[in-house]
A and B are shown apart, each in its own frame.
Chain A
């Protein structure tokens, strides 16, 4: 099955850019999603990228996909304290329409 790896922790200062990285193993994943989880809450869909794209920009969020290396990244511009949360990369198994999650990256934004 699919394996998804993320670094566990990232700390940035308010106003800086944050880059959260993810590697995955299943090259057949056609859609790759980013979710945000705040403490005690469910998961909120942030953005996604289709596998035939290299980049997608959505306001402060930029997703980069290197399909050859199976590497996905999420860049958050002008990071705010409200961005502090756990971020999950989740490729989709198109056959089962199921998501595979990494262990998540905890983003801490310091004032």
Chain B
């Protein structure tokens, strides 16, 4: 069983809707990530949070808005998306960076988003 939980597993939304994807981990990890994965492609990094602060934004359009309310939770707010944003959105977490960083990512099972 995965220790990173993502909800919902499936989401269908129109281009004018506002929705959110949620991610939760209870492994004490202080870094959390959002990745986007299109069919038959590798995951692409979107955002990285370190100690609840946004540390990396890979030039993601503003229609995607991340939020990290606390060290266990990560949200991705969606607004005015385009059909090409349809993809599997993966959340991941990793250990503390300082001195013990090994880069190992723990992934959730993903939220499959369809934009109509």
A and B part of one assembly: no
Residues of chain A at the chain B interface (Cβ within 8 Å): none
Residues of chain B at the chain A interface (Cβ within 8 Å): none
